[in-house]
């Protein structure tokens, strides 16, 4: 554990959102490392006010408070580090090799297995980041309407997986990756690792969509702050800092397989 990392875990049967609770805790001075876990969320949240489906005991619903000692321009690397930590934890606990879709979705067989919501806030004891992680454990975690685009560990592994096992690994892998990020050369290392663990880093044909824009192009790696570089058909390089990325073609064949969550 990094020095000063709290080992406190607050456990709830039901909560609105573990991220909201972590924000409340951070506001009243929670130290970094404090975790919030719930068996179900009534208002599980995704990015941009979207919903994260969080039925009871069907997923791991987890948030952690961080107080990074990093320049603000490197804070966008926190969700990338978190995605790497989830990927490490899935490999260690289940032997599952997952993919990372920019910026921080965890995919298995091109379907979403885990989502990450990173939020920042000012508190009396300084700026804090809340990293919320939702991992689908059982098939019940995935709503009917999302079955073609989302999956669970149960579906991937063919049997139920103990969420506590994943949690134990995750607490370690987050602490490790976070410590590396904050060490000398940590940002560059994190970018290299992310690129090495994501099929989306290079040469992937994607559609990028945001509120006011939508375009297609080929991925060309990451900027130093984690933004995605995408080369459009006219040879221009666009730098994407926010928005949704969807694969237009799978890397392994040329069949069109657009997928969106
Ligand atoms: C995310 O947003 O993927 C971030 C999800 C973070 C959830 C965790 S759970 C613990 C913590 N507490 C919270 O309240 N949140 C965090 P985004 O990229 O915007 O994706 C949201 C979209 O994913 C939704 O609009 C649905 O299309 C889809 N979705 C919803 N529930 C899902 C599920 N259980 N599995 C897969 N996809 C889901």
Domains identified in the chain and CATH numbers: 9-196 (3.30.930.10), 202-257 (2.30.30.100)
The arithmetic mean of pLDDT across residues 160-173, rounded, is: 95
The arithmetic mean of pLDDT across residues 137-160, rounded, is: 96
Q: Return d(Cα 107, Cα 97) in angstroms, integer.
A: 9
The verdict on the CB of residue 146 being under 6 Å from ligand 1 is yes
DSSP state of 31: P
The pLDDT of residue 16 is 98
The verdict on the CB of residue 102 being under 6 Å from ligand 1 is no
The arithmetic mean of pLDDT across residues 37-62, rounded, is: 96
Contact at 8 Å (CB) between 118 and 82?
yes
Which of 16, 52, 118, 133 maximizes ligand 1 atoms within 8 Å of its Cβ, making it the mutation to test the pocket?
52
Residue nearest to atom 30 of ligand 1 (CA): 52
Q: Is 154 helix (H, G, I), strand (E, B) or coil?
A: helix
The pLDDT of residue 259 is 35
Q: Return d(Cα 21, Cα 110) in angstroms, integer.
A: 31
Residue with tokens 């969106």: 260
260: pLDDT confidence band, cut at 50, 70 and 90? Answer: very low
- pLDDT single digits (tens) 219-231: 999 999 999 999 9
Parallel/antiparallel/unpaired status of strands 9-15 and 35-41:
parallel
Contact at 8 Å (CB) between 138 and 58?
yes
- pLDDT single digits (tens) 133-145: 999 999 999 999 9
The pLDDT of residue 256 is 37
């Amino acid at each position: 554990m990094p020095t000063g990392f709290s080992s406190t875990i607050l456990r709830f049967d039901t909560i609105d959102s573990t991220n909201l609770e972590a924000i409340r805790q951070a506001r009243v001075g929670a130290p970094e490392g404090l975790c919030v876990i719930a068996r179900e969320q009534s208002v599980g949240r995704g990015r941009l006010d979207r919903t994260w489906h969080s039925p009871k005991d069907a997923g791991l619903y987890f948030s952690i408070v961080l107080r990074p000692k990093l320049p603000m321009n490197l804070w966008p690397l926190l969700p990338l580090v978190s995605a790497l930590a989830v990927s490490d934890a899935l490999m260690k606990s289940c032997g599952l090799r997952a993919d990372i879709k920019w910026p921080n979705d965890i995919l298995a067989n091109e379907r979403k297995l885990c989502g990450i919501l990173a939020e920042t806030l000012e508190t009396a004891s300084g700026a804090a980041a809340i990293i919320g992680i939702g991992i689908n454990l059982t098939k019940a975690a995935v709503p009917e309407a999302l079955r073609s685009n989302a999956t669970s560990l149960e579906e991937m592994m063919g049997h139920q997986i103990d969420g506590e096992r994943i949690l134990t690994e995750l607490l370690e892998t987050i602490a490790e990756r976070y410590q590396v990020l904050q060490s000398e050369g940590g940002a560059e290392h994190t970018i290299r690792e992310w690129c090495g663990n994501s099929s989306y880093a290079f040469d992937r044909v994607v559609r990028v969509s945001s509120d006011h824009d939508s375009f297609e192009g080929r991925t060309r790696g990451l900027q130093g702050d984690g933004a995605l570089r995408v080369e459009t058909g006219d040879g221009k390089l666009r730098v994407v800092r926010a928005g949704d990325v969807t694969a237009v073609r799978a890397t392994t064949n040329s069949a069109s397989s657009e997928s969106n969550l």
